[in-house]
């Protein structure tokens, strides 16, 4: 007998003992001998429903009436002489006969079917106990009813899943506790006060009988003792164990087939277990004390849980299922010591704000994810997770959707054009919003405006050092400052690998700080100068210690092509290990990859040749039969380049191939270090420059942090290639502390502070000068005021920033110098309609008035015969400077358009005569707005993508990189969403709303209509969507119900991990849409709170 069977046997013996002692203490009711009894007497659920209107009386009389119906003698045992009945064929025959004549019901009747149902089943039930039969037949006339007497041994009961379940244990548990709280327990004086309190707790539903129907009381008893509902979590492991014992699952199912056993087999199993179990040697009093002690422990556990309010399980307050899923999806069996320390910090337990910083690859994200789970599952609050890049948002949405499916919360993506403002208000499920910095700010604004910011229990910020990164840092600072100022209960967690002035960030976020130098893999830093390699040694006077000389033999020709000996450094690790080569420019990435292939051994081609051929085939499929010639040359050697010039599909394929070991080397730009995690055994920095700028310490640390793969490598190493003239700068680079993180609200001509003031006044967070000054003091700029404001007071800075806002007619109010200071400080400022539309649409203040004028002008002659005019209106203003028109291409594109399309040129201000002269090189005397001309050129690129849906073909037509065009398309989709929100706030632009809504959706995907629903799933790009569609997965519903194992077999280059993530993401998106529709239905059917009272005529 195993441990579980022993526990079940012991548990069932205890309950039988309790029943025996209880019956001995009550008035006897003469019954036939046990051998003649037939246990078909049952009260059904429909009869419970029919008794809803009956009056329920206090517990004392209830217990007495209830015990009058108990079918057993006070002087005899439940089974009388049947201490051993396994061989008693007479009893078993009677049992089988009773089972055969017992009614089996598969559903509960409703409405007028109750009486017919009752009449139909009653003749089939035979009762040997006449007292109980009379009692049951007179249910309609009885008024003294116990809510638990309807919970009897019923066979054929169905649970919510349609499977039969036995509730005999419910009867036993309910009868026993009913007798216990009635006071029929031996030696009641020995019960401690907490046990009496427990019995009062069991009795409480009976005391409240006047406000509850019989059905609700029965439901409460079932939920209290036998929790079968899968969505209701148990309070503790101990309670779960006890309930599992009471349910006796092993007694009701066949362990071999897992099928439901018949009543006969269930009774045989249960009674056989009781008969074979050893009889207890202790006295009845001692047994009762043991039961009381067990209940005491349960009460104590419940008390602990009630005081903590968040403890749901053994894994840092979370169910153990979280730990299992972390191992299943991430392969992590055990947390690092620092992770355990961080999660058990007193500040974390008390929900204080926290900043924690560790080197790259130290496992920071896992800690954040556990804290997110605690907030969602234990505290039942929404969570905002802020990430710097769209690719990281999509990766995290895919990774956490599996947890959302398992634990019934929603994962919502806010990146690019995705995300709803304000978010849909969920009444049952909680939401995890995963957002880019810009989208997070818009989300916070919408929650403040709808007064729902308090629903946000936790905000997690990855790469907190982004606070110091230009305009994006200013937006992040605005969002965090608003949360800190308005919602005092929201916890903020910030994490970063590169932080220096932590004390100032602590002051700003009012946070504790935790740091560690832990790295799962040891990192060694080297610098290469000429043929020598030096190890970085902070203990040395010049910070370098000689390590070795390069031994690779170079020919004179190779020396000219590769003077920095990159080939020698690379061949020391590949193809056995992986390598990343960071290059200063995109063009250099491509050149280095071509150069390496030229001198690598031909044996590289034979390694994983089949997988490489499949990768080339896939890259060609993405380009509709076209592949980059450089990739065609490098991939057979296991090499590829990686930069923003690639399309999203190409980058994703290359990243997956590198992670799978098909590619062993990537030449890349610095953006890879800040994006998706792609570690390597060796990281080589081709130059200490990014374009023409010398590396920052933070950039250097991020790049070398990719060296060393946890669980694969025992150590990682980085090599920085430098020249003699840069030696001093490199020495400073490897030795100096990290750069400080400064506020960027004053960056770019005070752009950040102007945006902040507009939103503060528009959201009514601070509308007077004194409140604005108070708010500004709580920002990072307020903390660093002395360093950044150069002696200016906040009041002066605020007035200077408000002045241009008033000139643009975004804010109205009095700011005259003639008014007294006191009046001025308390004067209320208001945003105009244009100002409100500007901050709601997150429109750049530099372009808000231009956008307003463009939209007004286009209303006079909007061309709707095609999408070109609308596309021009959503072409991003800030990308115009990144492109110079090719005038011959411009001229040819004009003549390839039809007459209606050519009409748009004249409307926006690009005449044909101007293009003709520019293309022929003639001087142009007519004044034409150059900004409009350049912007319309980008509009033509977008329009070609919109129509042809082939990035490669359009890239060749306009002589642009395909990566730039895809970035342009993504920016246009995001800006279109912003323009839509802008138009929604201005009545004069009502006609644009439906047009921009449709255009935003089309620009977001820019593919054939049948692929759109598949591409809505996070991480499914065009190439993958085409694969899925060809395989028969034609919509979101198909994908949500797909089998990951089948996907792996039918879709090329799809790993099992990717298949599981895609299916989980599809399920999450489907649930999200269903929830939204359900919320809409409930809102429509909800009775208005302020409904006028209706007079009822007699």
pLDDT digits (tens, 9 = 90+) for 759-796: 999 999 999 999 999 999 999 999 999 889 888 888 88
How many whole angstroms separate alpha carbon 238 and alpha carbon 236? 5
pLDDT exceeds cutoff 60 at 600 = yes
> How many C-beta neighbours within 10 Å does residue 272 have?
14
Bond into 373 cis (ω within 30)? no
Q: Percent of the chain at pLDDT above 70?
A: 70
pLDDT reported for residue 261: 55
pLDDT reported for residue 391: 86
Q: Is the dihedral of CA 818, 824, 830, 835 positive or negative?
A: positive
How many whole angstroms separate alpha carbon 678 and alpha carbon 667? 12
pLDDT reported for residue 1092: 81
pLDDT exceeds cutoff 50 at 126 = no
pLDDT exceeds cutoff 70 at 487 = yes
CA 223 to chain centre: 30
pLDDT reported for residue 476: 96
Structure tokens at 885: 């028109």
The answer to whether the CB of 829 falls within 8 A of the CB of 811 is yes
User: 76: pLDDT confidence band, cut at 50, 70 and 90?
Assistant: very low
Structure tokens at 967: 């970035």
Choice between 976 and 233, residue whose per-residue pLDDT is larger: 976
φ, ψ dihedrals at 555, nearest 5°? -80, 165
Q: Strand, coil or helix: what is 385? A: strand
User: What separation, in Å, do the N-terminal and C-terminal C-alpha atoms of the chain show?
Assistant: 73
Choice between 536 and 624, residue whose per-residue pLDDT is larger: 536
> How many C-beta neighbours within 10 Å does residue 1092 have?
6
pLDDT exceeds cutoff 80 at 808 = yes
Q: Strand, coil or helix: what is 812? A: strand
Instruction: Give exposure, 309-323, as e/b (b: 16+ Cβ within 10 Å).
Output: eebbbebbbbbeebb
If you average pLDDT over every residue of the chain, what do you get? Answer: 77
Please report where in the chains the tokens 């309670």 appear, as a residue. 239
Please report where in the chains the tokens 């009889």 appear, as a residue. 279
pLDDT reported for residue 182: 42
The 10s digit of each residue's pLDDT in 146-198 is 433 333 333 333 444 343 444 434 443 444 334 434 444 344 444 444 444 44
The 10s digit of each residue's pLDDT in 370-408 is 999 999 999 999 999 999 998 899 889 989 999 999 999
pLDDT exceeds cutoff 50 at 1034 = yes
pLDDT reported for residue 881: 92
The count of C-alpha atoms lying within 13 angstroms of the C-alpha of 116, restricted to the half-sphere facing its C-beta, is 6
Which helix (H) or strand (E) element contains residue 303? helix 284-308
Q: Residue 557: CB partners within 8 Å, gap ≥ 6?
A: none
Lowest-confidence region among 785-799, 856-870, 876-890: 785-799
pLDDT exceeds cutoff 60 at 73 = no
Lowest-confidence region among 277-286, 343-352, 758-767: 277-286
pLDDT reported for residue 953: 87
Q: Strand, coil or helix: what is 536? A: strand
pLDDT reported for residue 1052: 81
The answer to whether the CB of 189 falls within 8 A of the CB of 196 is no
CA 156 to chain centre: 41
User: 1094: pLDDT confidence band, cut at 50, 70 and 90?
Assistant: low
φ, ψ dihedrals at 253, nearest 5°? -130, 150
User: 924: pLDDT confidence band, cut at 50, 70 and 90?
Assistant: confident
pLDDT exceeds cutoff 60 at 1051 = yes
pLDDT reported for residue 54: 44
pLDDT reported for residue 926: 77
pLDDT exceeds cutoff 80 at 22 = no
Longest distance between any two alpha carbons in the chain, whole Å: 119
Total length of the chain: 1098
pLDDT reported for residue 542: 83
- What number is the average pLDDT over the span 483-495? 95
State how far the alpha carbon of 970 is from the alpha carbons of 31, 80, 647, 975, 1026, in Å. Answer: 82, 80, 11, 9, 20
Lowest-confidence region among 260-264, 813-817, 964-968: 260-264
How many whole angstroms separate alpha carbon 972 and alpha carbon 941? 11
pLDDT exceeds cutoff 70 at 1009 = yes
Lowest-confidence region among 104-118, 315-329, 429-443, 667-681: 104-118
pLDDT reported for residue 686: 94
Rank 47-51, 288-292, 601-605 by mean pLDDT and report only the highest: 601-605
The answer to whether the CB of 108 falls within 8 A of the CB of 45 is yes
Choice between 418 and 126, residue whose per-residue pLDDT is larger: 418
- What number is the average pLDDT over the span 632-655? 92
pLDDT exceeds cutoff 60 at 282 = no
pLDDT reported for residue 817: 54
How many whole angstroms separate alpha carbon 448 and alpha carbon 439? 14
pLDDT reported for residue 42: 43
Select from 691, 681, 621, 607 the least CA-distant residue to 653: 621
Choice between 154 and 296, residue whose per-residue pLDDT is larger: 296
Rank 87-91, 457-461, 700-704, 725-729 by mean pLDDT and report only the highest: 457-461
- What number is the average pLDDT over the span 800-817? 86
pLDDT exceeds cutoff 50 at 1 = no
Q: Is the dihedral of CA 406, 412, 418, 419 positive or negative?
A: positive
User: 287: pLDDT confidence band, cut at 50, 70 and 90?
Assistant: low
pLDDT reported for residue 71: 42
Lowest-confidence region among 237-246, 275-284, 483-492: 237-246
Lowest-confidence region among 7-11, 480-484, 567-571: 7-11
Please report where in the chains the tokens 């130098």 appear, as a residue. 517
Choice between 577 and 220, residue whose per-residue pLDDT is larger: 577
Q: Strand, coil or helix: what is 1032? A: coil
pLDDT reported for residue 210: 40
- What number is the average pLDDT over the span 987-1013? 91
pLDDT reported for residue 244: 44
pLDDT reported for residue 677: 79
State how far the alpha carbon of 239 is from the alpha carbons of 205, 224, 300, 912, in Å. Answer: 20, 11, 11, 81
For 696-758, give the DSSP string: PHHHHHHHHTTB--TTT-SEEEEEEEE-GGGHHHHHHHHHSPPPP----TTHHHHHHHHHHHH
User: 1095: pLDDT confidence band, cut at 50, 70 and 90?
Assistant: low
pTM (predicted TM-score)? 0.71
Q: Is the dihedral of CA 392, 393, 396, 402 positive or negative?
A: negative
User: 267: pLDDT confidence band, cut at 50, 70 and 90?
Assistant: low
How many whole angstroms separate alpha carbon 798 and alpha carbon 795? 5
State how far the alpha carbon of 1020 is from the alpha carbons of 98, 516, 874, in Å. Answer: 59, 37, 25
Going by the DSSP 8-state scheme, the letter that residue 1098 receives in this structure is -
pLDDT reported for residue 1055: 83
The answer to whether the CB of 243 falls within 8 A of the CB of 252 is no
pLDDT reported for residue 732: 92
pLDDT reported for residue 1079: 84
């Amino acid at each position: 007998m195993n441990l579980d069977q022993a526990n079940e046997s012991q548990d069932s013996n205890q309950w039988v003992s309790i029943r025996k002692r209880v019956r001995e203490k009550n008035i006897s009711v003469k019954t036939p001998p046990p051998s003649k009894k037939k246990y078909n007497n049952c009260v059904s659920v429909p009869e419970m429903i029919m008794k809803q209107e009956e009056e329920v009386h206090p517990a004392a009389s209830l217990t007495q009436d209830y015990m009058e119906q108990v079918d057993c003698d006070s002087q005899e045992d439940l089974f009388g002489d049947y201490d051993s009945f396994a061989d008693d064929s007479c009893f078993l025959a009677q049992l089988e006969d009773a089972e055969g004549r017992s009614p089996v019901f598969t559903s509960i009747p409703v409405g007028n079917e109750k009486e017919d149902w009752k009449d139909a089943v009653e003749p089939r039930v035979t009762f040997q106990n006449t007292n109980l039969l009379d009692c049951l037949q007179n249910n309609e006339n009885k008024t003294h009813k116990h809510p638990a007497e309807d919970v009897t041994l019923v066979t054929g009961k169905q649970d919510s899943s349609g499977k039969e379940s036995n509730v005999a244990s419910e009867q036993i548990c309910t009868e026993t506790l009913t007798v216990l709280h009635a006071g029929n327990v031996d030696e009641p004086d020995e019960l401690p006060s907490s046990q009496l309190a427990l019995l009062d707790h069991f009795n409480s539903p009976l005391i409240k009988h006047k406000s509850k129907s019989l059905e609700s009381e029965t439901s409460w008893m079932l939920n209290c003792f036998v929790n079968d509902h899968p969505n209701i979590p148990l309070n503790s492991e101990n309670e779960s164990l006890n309930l599992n014992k009471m349910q006796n699952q092993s007694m009701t199912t066949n362990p071999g087939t897992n099928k439901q056993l018949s009543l006969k087999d269930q009774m045989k199993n249960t009674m056989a277990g009781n008969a074979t179990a050893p009889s207890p040697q202790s006295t009845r009093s001692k047994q009762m004390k043991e039961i009381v002690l067990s209940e005491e422990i349960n009460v104590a556990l419940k008390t602990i849980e009630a005081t903590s309010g968040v403890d749901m399980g053994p894994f840092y307050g979370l169910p153990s299922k979280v730990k299992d899923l972390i191992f299943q999806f991430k392969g992590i069996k055990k947390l690092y010591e620092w992770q355990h320390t961080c999660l058990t910090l007193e500040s974390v337990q008390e929900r204080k704000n926290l900043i924690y910083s560790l080197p790259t690859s130290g496992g920071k994200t896992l800690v954040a994810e556990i804290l997110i789970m605690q907030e969602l599952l234990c505290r039942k609050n929404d969570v905002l997770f802020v990430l710097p890049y769209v690719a990281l948002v999509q990766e995290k949405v895919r990774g956490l959707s599996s947890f959302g499916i398992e634990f019934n919360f929603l994962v919502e993506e806010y990146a690019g054009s995705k995300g709803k403002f304000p978010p849909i208000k969920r009444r049952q499920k909680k939401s995890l919003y995963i957002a880019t910095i810009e989208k997070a700010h818009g989300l916070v604004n919408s929650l403040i405006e709808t007064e729902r910011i308090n629903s946000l229990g936790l905000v997690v910020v990855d790469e907190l050092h982004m606070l110091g990164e230009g305009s994006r840092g200013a937006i992040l600072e605005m969002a965090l400052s608003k949360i800190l100022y308005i919602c005092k209960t929201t916890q903020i967690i910030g994490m970063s690998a590169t932080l220096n002035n932590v004390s100032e960030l602590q002051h700003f976020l009012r946070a504790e700080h935790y740091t560690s130098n832990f790295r799962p893999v040891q990192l060694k830093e080297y610098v290469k100068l000429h043929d020598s390699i030096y190890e970085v040694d902070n203990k040395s006077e010049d910070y370098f210690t000689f390590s070795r000389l390069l031994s690779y033999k170079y020919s004179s020709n190779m020396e000219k092509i590769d003077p920095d000996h990159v080939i020698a450094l690379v061949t020391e690790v590949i193809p056995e290990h992986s390598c990343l080569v960071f290059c200063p420019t995109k063009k250099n990435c491509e050149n280095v990859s071509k150069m390496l292939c030229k001198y690598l051994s031909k044996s590289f081609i034979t390694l994983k040749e089949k997988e490489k051929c499949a990768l080339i085939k896939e890259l060609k499929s993405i380009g509709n039969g076209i592949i980059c010639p450089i990739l065609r040359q490098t991939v057979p050697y296991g090499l590829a380049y990686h930069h923003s010039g690639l399309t999203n599909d190409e980058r994703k394929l290359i990243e997956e191939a590198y992670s799978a070991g098909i590619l062993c080397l990537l030449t890349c730009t610095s953006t890879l270090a800040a994006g998706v995690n792609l570690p390597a055994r060796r990281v080589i920095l081709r130059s200490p420059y990014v374009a023409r700028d010398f590396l920052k310490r933070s950039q250097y640390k991020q790049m070398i942090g990719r060296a060393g793969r946890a669980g694969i490598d025992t150590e990682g190493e980085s090599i920085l290639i430098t020249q003699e003239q840069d030696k001093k700068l490199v020495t400073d680079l490897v030795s100096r502390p990290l750069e400080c993180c400064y506020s960027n609200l004053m960056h770019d001509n005070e752009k950040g502070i102007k945006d902040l003031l507009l939103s503060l006044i528009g959201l009514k967070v601070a509308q007077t000068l004194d409140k604005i000054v108070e708010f500004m003091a709580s920002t990072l700029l307020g903390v660093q005021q002395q360093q950044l404001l150069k002696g200016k007071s906040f009041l002066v800075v605020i007035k200077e920033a408000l002045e241009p806002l008033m000139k643009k007619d975004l804010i109205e109010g009095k700011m005259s110098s003639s008014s007294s200071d006191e009046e001025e400080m308390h004067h209320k400022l208001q945003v105009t309609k244009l100002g409100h539309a500007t901050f709601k649409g997150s429109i750049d203040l530099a372009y808000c008035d231009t956008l307003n004028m463009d939209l007004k002008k286009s209303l006079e002659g909007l061309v709707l015969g095609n999408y070109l005019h609308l596309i021009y209106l959503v072409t991003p203003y800030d990308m115009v400077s990144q492109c110079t028109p090719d005038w011959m291409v411009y001229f040819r594109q004009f003549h390839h358009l039809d007459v209606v399309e050519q009409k748009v040129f004249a409307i926006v201000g690009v005449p044909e005569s101007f293009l003709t002269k520019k293309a022929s090189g003639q001087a142009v005397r007519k004044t034409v707005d150059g900004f409009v001309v350049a912007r319309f050129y980008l509009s033509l690129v977008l329009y070609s993508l919109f129509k042809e849906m082939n990035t490669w073909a359009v890239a060749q037509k306009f002589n642009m990189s395909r990566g730039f065009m895809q970035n342009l398309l993504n920016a246009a989709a995001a800006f279109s969403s912003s323009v839509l929100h802008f138009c929604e706030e201005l009545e004069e632009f009502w006609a644009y709303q439906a047009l921009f809504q449709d255009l935003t959706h089309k620009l977001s995907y820019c593919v054939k209509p049948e692929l759109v629903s598949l591409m809505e799933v996070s991480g499914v790009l065009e190439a993958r969507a085409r694969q899925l569609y060809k395989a028969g997965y034609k919509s979101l519903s198909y994908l949500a119900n797909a089998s990951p194992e089948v996907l792996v077999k039918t879709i090329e280059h799809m790993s099992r991990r990717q298949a599981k993530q895609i299916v989980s993401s599809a399920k999450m998106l489907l649930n999200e849409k269903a929830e939204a529709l359900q919320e809409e239905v409930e809102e429509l059917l909800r009775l208005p709170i302020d409904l006028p009272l209706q007079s009822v005529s007699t």
